[in-house]
Structure 1
Amino acid sequence: MRQSLREAVRKEALKESKVTEPIAPASAPTSAQVRYRPLTADDLTAAHELSMAVKWPHRREDWEFALNLGAGVAAEDDSGVIGTALRWEFGAGHGALGMVIVSPEQQGRGIGRDLMTLTVDALAERTTFLNATPAGLPLYEKFGFKAIGSIHQHQGAGGAHPPVVALAPGERIRPLGARDPERLAALWSHAAGYDRAPVLEALLQVAEGVVLARDGEPIGFAIMRRFGRGHVIGPVVAPHAEGAKALISHWLGANEGKFTRIDVTGDSGLSDWLDELGLPKVDSVVTMARGETPRADGRGQVFAITNQALG
């Protein structure tokens, strides 16, 4: 019976990339009263309340953006939604999962394990990424996820005026143009090692972007949008650290005195610089992957991610 449930979930996920019928985890839930079903737009208010209960900063609009890009599972009992997990597909070979939350009052019942089982199975054989808090690390390791990096969360209203960063001759920061999105998606995908075009397309519907250009041609970019307590800068993609700093400084100047968050990669080398600018590091998480780690092609580097769920 358990194997048939697992296969049913896997086949449905492969067919539509979204579960459309009530589902059950491959292993029996700890409590028969817990039910699992697709997360829908009607659940966004309840999901937002869950994230507030665990002190995550997401707005309801942030949940809506994330769900519209992917699909999710809700755990519920007679009291309502008590757990969530979201997933996203990036091309045929990669995906991510996040927003795995269980109500504090319901933790310890195996609900998080069941949500993970359903989400991992739905992503099938894709290399899958997530960013893990220390509390979630043991559970993710049981599902075969291995550490491949880290993310440092910096935020604040900024204490110092952002500096003007000197760029190489021929390089400048300019507004994003109508012809840029396709080229920026390629830059990001090459730097990440997997398809980032759908995420960029969605971001540009709700965010602003600037381009780092060399002799007029894009070589990097940075996005800023509303998120959580204020604004978030990310992704930031550039061929070198000075280019990333120039892009970030542009947005810090535009948002000076307002709450701003940026999640930089552990190998970005930007944490000390951000601390000096009045955006202290407030948290770090472990980047994990299940499957073959993608390889960037050296044409650029991801210095900051979109957010910890979407990468």
Structure 2
Amino acid sequence: MPTSLTPLDQLPIRILTPEDLIACADLSENRGWLREEHKWNLLLTAGTGYGIDDPDGKGLVAASVVTSYGPELAAIGMVLVADRYARRGVGRRLMRHVLSEMGDTPLTLHATPNGKPLYEQLGFVQSGRAEMLRGQFTGAVAAPDVATRAATADDLQTILALDTEIFGLDRTPMLTRLPAFADQLRVAEADGEVIGFAAAWPNMDTHVIGPLIARDTATAQALVASLAAATDRPLRTDIDVRHETLIGWLKANGLGPIAFNAVMVRSVPDLPGDWSRRFAPLTVAAG
């Protein structure tokens, strides 16, 4: 068994399982992030986690999760290194292992300003930006009159088909978890056709809105407003900065800016799909 005398570059990297949920949440808390156990559980069950155990038995040294969408794209998220091991090359080693495991598969991730230099050194390039917003939705500026309703089981195949068209790849293994993962899942309709969908899922004291897939900005606004109407919690979401009208409307309704993340890709020039109808990810950790 490794001990505290084991060189960091020799500590074994292993696959994480849902049984590592608490250790992952502890690692998040150690680095000043929210524990986000609900999100960790989704990522560890729908994706593949990689971790390094502390040789002194103090939880995890580092962790990350990969969500695969087949041979054309995988998303890397939740890259964390315990504070006591920071700036000692552990994050780089874990990332190199993940890159080796993924082979030629194109990759994407959302990078904080602190993490971006490392990812650039590993071959990632910035392809876009997302703005994180958080706040109590006021409804002061009304949404356009677009019909929305709660999604039903009969909508699932339609949602999957629409998402594949707009996201550009099949996310069935992830999206079929939405009804259980999210507190709300709603669709927007026009002339009897589903033209968008969105979910609100619990994350600590907030509801995160994502994914947000819509025909246009008006539809996205209507979906957000309908989700907000059914919760007293603050909302949080990450919006592609090219959607300036939606961001302005959200800010006018009480959501304030928290941070910007760089959307980065590797081995592909840009993300697949139609960004003009893709407003927010399910979570930045899963792309």
TM-score (structure 1 length as normaliser): 0.84
CA distance in 2 between partners of 1:30 and 1:136 (Å): 23
Q: CA deviation at 1:142?
A: 1.4
CA displacement, residues 81-135 of structure 1 (integer Å, 9 cap, x when unaligned):
1110111110232111111100111012211011101111222211111000011
CA displacement, residues 200-252 of structure 1 (integer Å, 9 cap, x when unaligned):
11122221211111111111111111123321111111111011001001111
Residue equivalent to 1:41? 18
Count the aligned residue pairs: 278
Q: CA deviation at 1:32?
A: 5.2
Checking the alignment, whether the CA contact within 8 Å between 1:89 and 1:123 is kept in structure 2 is no
The residue type paired with residue 66 of structure 1 is L
Q: Does 1:76 align with 2:49?
A: no
CA distance in 2 between partners of 1:260 and 1:77 (Å): 35
The residue type paired with residue 237 of structure 1 is I
CA distance in 1 between partners of 2:223 and 2:136 (Å): 17
Checking the alignment, whether the CA contact within 8 Å between 2:141 and 2:249 is kept in structure 1 is no
Question: Structure 1 residues 125, 146: CA separation in 2 closer, same or farther (over 3 Å shift)?
Answer: same
SS of aligned partner of 2:79: strand
Residue equivalent to 2:43? 66
Checking the alignment, whether the CA contact within 8 Å between 1:69 and 1:199 is kept in structure 2 is yes
Checking the alignment, whether the CA contact within 8 Å between 1:30 and 1:109 is kept in structure 2 is no
The residue type paired with residue 166 of structure 1 is P
Question: Structure 1 residues 46, 182: CA separation in 2 closer, same or farther (over 3 Å shift)?
Answer: same
For 1:233, which of 206, 209, 214 is the aligned residue?
Answer: 209
CA distance in 1 between partners of 2:260 and 2:9 (Å): 36
Query: For residues 104-119 of structure 1, what are the structure 2 equivalents within 5 Å?
Result: 104-119=83-98
Checking the alignment, whether the CA contact within 8 Å between 1:185 and 1:196 is kept in structure 2 is yes
For 2:194, which of 209, 218, 227 is the aligned residue?
Answer: 218
SS of aligned partner of 1:179: helix
The residue type paired with residue 47 of structure 1 is C
For 2:69, which of 90, 98, 103 is the aligned residue?
Answer: 90
Question: Structure 1 residues 142, 32: CA separation in 2 closer, same or farther (over 3 Å shift)?
Answer: closer
Residue equivalent to 1:187? 162
What is the percent sequence identity of the aligned residues? 31
Checking the alignment, whether the CA contact within 8 Å between 1:30 and 1:110 is kept in structure 2 is no
Question: Structure 1 residues 172, 195: CA separation in 2 closer, same or farther (over 3 Å shift)?
Answer: same
TM-score (structure 2 length as normaliser): 0.90
Q: CA deviation at 1:163?
A: 4.3
SS of aligned partner of 2:222: helix
Q: Does 1:53 align with 2:30?
A: yes
Q: Does 1:247 align with 2:247?
A: no
CA distance in 2 between partners of 1:57 and 1:273 (Å): 27
CA distance in 2 between partners of 1:297 and 1:272 (Å): 21
Residue equivalent to 2:129? 150
For 2:178, which of 192, 200, 203 is the aligned residue?
Answer: 203
Checking the alignment, whether the CA contact within 8 Å between 1:157 and 1:279 is kept in structure 2 is yes
Q: Which runs of 4+ in 1 moved over 4 A?
A: none
Task: Give the alignment's Cα RMSD to 1 decimal.
Answer: 2.0
CA distance in 1 between partners of 2:53 and 2:70 (Å): 30
Residue equivalent to 1:165? 143
Checking the alignment, whether the CA contact within 8 Å between 1:186 and 1:197 is kept in structure 2 is no
SS of aligned partner of 1:194: coil
Residue equivalent to 1:3? none
Unpaired runs of at least 5, structure 1: 1-21, 23-28
SS of aligned partner of 2:153: coil
Q: Does 1:141 align with 2:120?
A: yes
CA distance in 2 between partners of 1:210 and 1:162 (Å): 21
